[in-house]
Chains A and B, each alone.
Chain A
Amino acid sequence: MYIIIVGGGKVGYYLAKQLVEDGNEVLVIEKEAAKCQKIADDLGDIVLRGDGCEGVTLEAAGTGRADLFIAVTGDDEDNLVACQVAKNKFSVRRTVALINNPKNEAIFKKLGIDTTVSSTALVLANIEQELPSHPLIPLLTIKGSGLEIVEAKVPQYSAIVGEHIGELLLPQQCLIVVVIDEEGVPRVPNSDTQVRAGDEVVAVCRCESEDALRAILTTPVKEKQ
């Protein structure tokens, strides 16, 4: 594959390194001379000095034959414009943009960027997974479906401890797919499976019913009814 990377900072550097090792043809476009020199010294003649948003630079880079175009500068606006120029002027089929402000994900999608990677959102998700007090952890959003896969630990105090899965009043389009007990043994539950304190529950639910699901799993006994 011929892959163009705009931005030769840390992300661009290591991305290029890995992609070259994987046997791809890679070109990094970077404005700063010092960064270009470092890439050339370490990774070889795979760097073009210039502005990855400029038509002239992208022309020189042979963007028209790129299989993949990745923009990983530190500025969301530059990543957006680089991908839009690649897509609309050079008909690159697949564009990937790094975004720093997670809120920009929606606008990038709307404006035709195929894939966005939000570094902030990734770090946040990892922090949330590490926090034991967080009752409901989003594991994965299924793109375009409005569905997500979440994980939650059933606390000792939960009102559903001892109940059967089939008895739970789950939100619409919500399904508990795996129950992992305290010993770490996963089971695919049926309606007779009993919920035990400390169980990790993995469920598919609609993004908007996340709060309802959280309430069902974590409401303490005395607060029920």
Chain B
Amino acid sequence: MPPVKYGLFACPWSSEMKVVIMGCGRVGAELATILDREGQEVTILDIDPDAFGQLPADFKGNSVVGNGIDQDVLQRVGLADADAFVAVTPGDNRNVMASQVAKHIFDVPKVVCRIFDPIRQELYRGLGLETISPTKEVARLLKQALEREPAETPKGEG
């Protein structure tokens, strides 16, 4: 049975892409799991070996203990021939620095960086990084939810 294709990865990428994810927290582990189940080649990095406990038992990707802002570590996980790099550690600055190294030193074609601080997010977007600010996104979603008619929310009993 062919792997299920989700919207984003169905289009520009070939069937299998190599993704390096820095940070194995809730978001990193979840993304790694989704991509792994789709059949992508996933490497996930974290400085804390215990962090990999969040990955499911059937995770087929690589989990590597190391600091993603160290170029030697990025070299070792084969970032030079990765198709994509995602930085989702809890530290904005670590994400920013690793993403810039991935983009400017390793020439990774697709780099996505999570930045909690909206001010820094705007700045780095202006400097050419693809960034996502959960702070802004979640606030926007919450506001949308608040504005929706209560009738639209699913009801427990008809």
Please report A residues at the B interface, Cβ cutoff 8 Å.
53-56, 75-78, 80-81, 84-85, 88-89, 101, 103-104, 106-107, 110-111
> Which residue in A76, A85, A88, A89 is a CB contact (below 8 Å) of B69?
A76
Q: Which of B10-18, B28-36, B37-45, B92-100 contacts A (4 or more CB under 8 A)?
A: B92-100
Flag whether B126 is at the interface (Cβ < 8 A): yes
Per the 8 Å Cβ criterion, residues 62-109 of B in contact with A are: 69-72, 91-94, 96-98, 100-101, 104-105
Q: B87 to chain A: closest CB distance in Å?
A: 11
Q: B77 to chain A: closest CB distance in Å?
A: 16
- Assess A81 versus B119: contact at CB under 8 Å? Given A88-B126, A103-B71, A111-B104: no
Interface residues on B, range: 20 to 34
How many cross-chain pairs have Cβ atoms below 8 Å apart between A and B?
58
Flag whether B120 is at the interface (Cβ < 8 A): yes
Please report B residues at the A interface, Cβ cutoff 8 Å.
69-72, 91-94, 96-98, 100-101, 104-105, 117, 119-120, 123, 126-127
In the complex, are the beta carbons of B101 and A107 less than 8 A apart?
yes
Complex-state Cα separation, A85 to B101, whole angstroms: 17
> Which residue in B70, B104, B105, B120 is a CB contact (below 8 Å) of A81?
B120
Q: B95 to chain A: closest CB distance in Å?
A: 9
Main SS at interface, chain B: helix
Q: A143 to chain B: closest CB distance in Å?
A: 19
In the complex, are the beta carbons of B119 and A56 less than 8 A apart?
yes
In the complex, are the beta carbons of A80 and B97 less than 8 A apart?
yes
Q: A118 to chain B: closest CB distance in Å?
A: 14
